[in-house]
A and B are shown apart, each in its own frame.
Chain A
Amino acid sequence: MIIGKVITISNMSVSVLLDTYDVGVRDIVYVEQDGQRTLFEVNNVSGNVANAIPLTNVYGLRKGLDVYSQKGGLRIEYSSEVLGKVFDTLGNTIDGSVIERPHTKNIYEKNLSMAEINIKGDILWTGIKVIDFFAPLQKGFKMGMFGGAGVGKTVLVKELINNVYTGQGSNSVFIGIGERSREGRELYDEMQKSQLLDKMSVVFGQMGENPMIRSRAAYSGLTVGEFLRDEQDQDVLIFIDNIYRFLQANSEISAELGNMPIESGYSTSLLTEINEVMERINSTENGSITSFQAIFIPADDMTDFAVNSILSHMDGQVALSRKISEKGIYPAVDVFNTTSKLVTAEGVGERHYSLVERAIAHFARYDELEEIVAVLGIDELGEEDTNTFYRARKLRNYFTQPMFVSEQYTGIPGEFVKIEAVLNDVENIMSGAFDTLDENEFYYIGSVKR
């Protein structure tokens, strides 16, 4: 159905002079030129002019082209056929697979009421020492993983997919937003090789794509995750790499529409946008959604508004720091900024809780001592401080871990470490039972074996 004509064109928006009122926000409209169809999503309508954002590029488009509407908006597959398939944002499979009887659903439809949300859940062990110890998580948690560029976020995400997945056996969804295509391809290959692919579903909107494609990948991926939770009653794992890119893509769109930006050029409606996505990631009586969301920190700026808006939705966080990765410690977790709502005496038990407190105290004292040692030398420290100094270094080394997915970089086979072993080892290191061992013996090991 023809709904109007194109009257202005810029890189990321067109305006359409409408001859019908039957056009709503988030409708999909399209133009055809030289046999090629260009899709747009309607962003706003004022009077008889609609502004729409292209889902591909607009090169060659002309003023005066007829605009048609496509019923149903953006849709993605909503059936058990999602498993083992790779989709783009628009719901097309990109791995060459075919869906026999498509059963699609609009990607914006779902909204949960307060009554539907379930807040109970069991603890979920990841087998990664530093996470299970400092930031244990519970089914239904939203865990943020943040860190600057190149500190090992994606490796940690892959390790989590591998570990949590092997242990849990439930299906998962990987949503790639604005990340590297090379990594997308490798993730696909690795999942296929380890025969995990048929238990997961993947949606990609990678960084070389137009901002609409990147932004909407979040909604498409969540729709798939909701299918597994609502229709198959599963405890679903959703990995989002990277949720910051969602807000970043939105800020590109917002600026192209000429909206007044907020600080750092972010989209005017940043809070509404992040809220809309985060409120969908919840557990119901049917099943849970536990999510791991990588968060990029622009310009290493922890006070960034977008980052903080995302963090306010998280139940826990894992911070990766460049200062630590520089020392060759991976995962480069900054323990001072890594925590979860579960780290209470009620959540993980008295012993675990007090060990966390003591370990953090050790690290805090170590940081102070390190400066003293750099200036005066280790011999100037008293006995207690000397012990703390060496034990903290052992602890630091102990929280490195050989990972399954980074065997290729380190050459050391990965290890899944049980929480009981971690608690024992940490207690032994801090109590001095391991004082005779050299600190290098704690480097890239699983649990301490004696």
Chain B
Amino acid sequence: MNNQLSDSIKDKIAAIKTADNVYSMGRVARIRNYIIEVSGLEGVGFFERVIVGDKAEGYVSRIGRNHVTVELVRVIEPIHVGDEITATKQPFGAYFSPSSLGHVVDMFAEDKLVGSVFKDREPISAVVQPIPIMDRSAVSRPLYTGLAAIDLLYPIGCGQRQLILGDKKTGKTQIGLDTIVNQRDSDTICIYVALGKTKKGVKEIYSELLQRGAMPYTLILVAFQDDGAPALYRTPDVALTIANRFMQEGKDVLVVIDDLTLHANIYREISLLADKVPGRDAYPPDIFFAHASLLEQGCQYHNGGSITILPIVETRGGDITDYITTNIISITDGQIVLSAKAFEQGQKPAVNFGLSVSRLGGVVQTDVLRQLGAEVRRELLSFLETREVFELANIDEMNEEMRSRIIRGRQLLGKMSQYKYSPLSPSEIKTRFEESEE
């Protein structure tokens, strides 16, 4: 006890001698939403954590000649021009608690359902670092979603980034949740990132996952709209830092990011408010990099661990060629496209088979599923194409071969339908589609 006390005093004295206990200070000079300009704060580091008394905290986003720009991540009470602001000599970071698995938390490891911070929270970086090419290895192990349309036709592997794409209300989130629930016996840690969702909506998702026994291995990381733009923008980074930590321990991690459209819009807002030069559609010119650096965290690591990412993007009017969507398609290893038309016709999951792609394809499937999948896909796609060309023809007047192809196609399409939370195991998928082969 005495030793500890004297050590701590010694440290303090040493800090005073090297002037290490002097924290630079400044005053708020200009407030623009969550971006403030500060005079003073000499010697502050880029991305250092700064605090405005006990009113707010944020990070340094720019060091100018005469002032420093700070983006506020957490505001407890309103701040005013002239408020004192202090540097902390710590890089801005988030927190993570190992015991938070099974809970709904924010980037500061605050349990949102209880309203208190986890006692054993540890600081964790809020920015991701690129994973070197040579530390990766090939993606080859399957990660089953339990959905025949995906596991059979557009399979996902551990370490793959598979985009889920579709209009509002086409079941995008549901695919993510189905996949999380299906990891019950796979020893995979799941992180569901809810960005800008309503509190009610997140609570519903929590209770769904709890009911189905998925919460023990799942972390729900949230940033609500009222947490402010910088927190919303940083939260996916934090999710991947947490995922990276598990991966380094050799674990498989699944991260569902719901959704990146909002993330892009939030980043646009921050950049425009910070007077940055806008690019296409007024998005910041580095929007591609923002998403790429995030999604490049998904990988099969050389130690056996992996991070699989299912980012979600919301399209408008079924248009998958807009700027943000094509950017993210060009980053991910494939996309599951959901179509509003199929959804309305009762096909669930409402996968658009022509537009969906897995760039890894068969390499993440078992031999059986690969062969079966290739056959079913060929048949299904050829049916869908024929259906378009001969849409108006009378089926009874067609030649025998064409008619049977169309009937088979309709059957296959029917077998792809699955109600939510009713996963099929690979062997169930096999039986379901093999019997139709005869």
Contact = CB atoms under 8 A, between A and B. Distances in A.
Interface of A: 7-12, 57-64, 86, 94-96, 148-150, 178, 180-182, 184-186, 188-189, 204, 206-211, 248-249, 251-252, 254-256, 258-261, 264-266, 296-300, 322, 326-328, 370, 373-375, 377, 408-411
Given A298-B280, A328-B381, 4 more contacts: A260-B277, A265-B280, A328-B378, A374-B392
Interface string B267-287: 000000000111110011110
Interface stretch (B44-52, B74-82, B227-235, B258-266): B44-52
A375 B388 CA distance: 11
A295 to B, nearest CB: 12
A207 B285 contact: no
Contacts of B46: 9-10, 58-62
Contacts of A326: 354-355
A35 B68 CA distance: 25
The 9 residue pairs across chains A and B that have the minimum distance between CB atoms = A265-B279, A208-B296, A149-B329, A149-B330, A300-B321, A207-B292, A409-B361, A255-B285, A208-B130
19 contacts: A8-B63, A148-B329, A180-B331, A181-B133, A207-B292, A248-B288, A249-B289, A256-B276, A259-B277, A261-B278, A261-B285, A265-B285, A299-B321, A299-B326, A326-B354, A374-B388, A374-B390, A377-B392, A411-B370
Contacts of A264: 279-280
Contacts of A210: 289
A206 B362 contact: no
Q: Which of B42, B137, B330 has the most CB of A within 10 A?
A: B330
A349 B334 CA distance: 41
Given A60-B91, A211-B289, A265-B285, A411 B362 contact: yes
Contact of B299 (A62, A182, A248, A411): A182
Contact of A374 (B130, B280, B391): B391
B285 A252 contact: yes
B201 interface: no
B24 to A, nearest CB: 10
A215 to B, nearest CB: 11
A186 B63 contact: no
A298 B327 contact: yes
Interface in B384-400: 385, 388-393
Contacts of A182: 136, 139, 159, 299, 333
A410 B131 CA distance: 30
Nearest to A261: B277
A58 B62 CA distance: 11
B39 to A, nearest CB: 14
Given A181-B131, A299-B322, A255 B138 contact: no
B44 to A, nearest CB: 7
A94 B279 contact: no
Contact of A255 (B62, B276, B329, B359): B276
B134 interface: yes
A211 B286 contact: yes
Contact of A208 (B63, B91, B293, B354): B293
Contact of A185 (B42, B133, B277): B133
Interface string B385-424: 1001111110000000000000000000000000000000
B213 interface: no
A370 B322 CA distance: 28
A185 B65 contact: no
B357 A150 contact: yes
B132 A94 contact: yes
A61 to B, nearest CB: 5
B335 A150 contact: yes
A266 B62 CA distance: 23
Contacts of A254: 285
Interface residues of B, number: 71
A261 B321 contact: no
B393 A377 contact: yes
Given A94-B132, A208-B130, A63 B63 contact: yes
Interface string B358-377: 01011100000011001000
B404 to A, nearest CB: 14
B64 interface: yes
A257 to B, nearest CB: 9
A148 B139 CA distance: 24
Nearest to A185: B136
A116 to B, nearest CB: 35
A410 B374 contact: yes
Contacts of B177: none
A401 to B, nearest CB: 16
B323 A298 contact: yes
Contacts of B374: 410-411
Contacts of A207: 288-289, 292-293, 296, 331
A256 B292 CA distance: 18
Interface string B30-69: 0000000000001111111000000000000111110000
Given A182-B139, A255-B276, A260-B277, A209 B385 contact: no
A255 B284 contact: yes
Contacts of B8: none
A62 B321 CA distance: 42
Nearest to B43: A62
A400 B231 CA distance: 48
B104 interface: no
A222 B299 CA distance: 29
B137 A185 contact: yes
B42 A63 contact: yes
A73 to B, nearest CB: 23
B62 A9 contact: yes
Given A150-B329, A181-B133, A189 B323 contact: no
Nearest to A408: B363
A12 B277 CA distance: 13
B382 interface: yes
B61 A11 contact: yes
B127 interface: yes
Nearest to B280: A264
A408 B362 contact: yes
Contacts of A327: 354, 381, 385
A94 B47 CA distance: 28
Given A299-B326, A328-B378, A255 B292 contact: no
A181 B296 contact: yes
B285 A59 contact: no
B321 A148 contact: yes
Contact of B326 (A10, A94, A149, A373): A149
Contacts of A64: 43
Contacts of A62: 43-46, 63
A265 B277 CA distance: 8
Contacts of B47: 58-60
B394 to A, nearest CB: 9
Q: Which of A180, A184, A255 has the most CB of B within 10 A?
A: A180
